Chain A
């Protein structure tokens, strides 16, 4: 079992640039979650998908953030244009909908916006 795979692991870019974070969930998992973690705000749920459909995007901070899940094995989180306050660790997690199951997290993407 490969686990949840995120790329890149680290991203450093300049303010105003577009940033794309990628996630491959565990095969067979029906739910995919994007989180942002900072010291100040802890773990925040940004958006989650069920069967590739966005269910709740109320945590997306503003229009600069967008997320897609074109198929069951791939999701992206895009920030355009990026700002220094977007610097954080972004985690992707997935789980199955067969009864209540724990979420499995990827290793995260550490994003630094200069």
Chain B
């Protein structure tokens, strides 16, 4: 089955700096890669996603890149703000069965 590894497990940045979270996956058939943000005590919420036919996608301060050859994808947050503080999960999905494998999460702390 799919295995998703996520690094780092914790990340502290100064407000205004950039943050990068990296994930690798094992199943070359995976074709959809969502990223979720989970604030303390709340549910995971989708913030951005990318499909395997796209190398990069951007939405305001958030961008995701995908390298299919190397089987890794990354989340980039620019101009970080205190409200970006949360746990971020990457995930990989094989389209046939909609089964999502989640990474172990990165706790991002943005220091004002």
Contact = CB atoms under 8 A, between A and B. Distances in A.
Contacts of A99: 95
CB-CB nearest 5 A-B residue pairs: A100-B32, A105-B43, A100-B95, A102-B46, A43-B102
30 contacts: A42-B102, A42-B104, A43-B102, A43-B105, A45-B99, A45-B101, A48-B99, A91-B43, A91-B44, A95-B98, A97-B98, A99-B95, A100-B31, A100-B32, A100-B51, A100-B93, A100-B95, A101-B98, A102-B34, A102-B49, A103-B34, A103-B46, A103-B98, A104-B46, A105-B43, A105-B44, A105-B45, A106-B43, A107-B42, A108-B43
Nearest to A99: B95
A45 B95 CA distance: 17
Contacts of A50: 97-98
B25 interface: no
A73 to B, nearest CB: 18
A56 B45 contact: no
Interface string B34-75: 100000001111100101000000000000000000000000
A43 B46 contact: no
Interface of A: 31, 33, 42-43, 45, 48, 50, 55-56, 91, 95, 97, 99-108
Interface in B82-112: 89, 93, 95, 97-102, 104-105
Interface of B: 31-32, 34, 42-46, 49, 51, 89, 93, 95, 97-102, 104-105
Nearest to B44: A105
Contact of B98 (A31, A43, A106, A107): A31
Given A105-B43, A106-B43, 4 more contacts: A33-B100, A50-B98, A102-B49, A105-B45
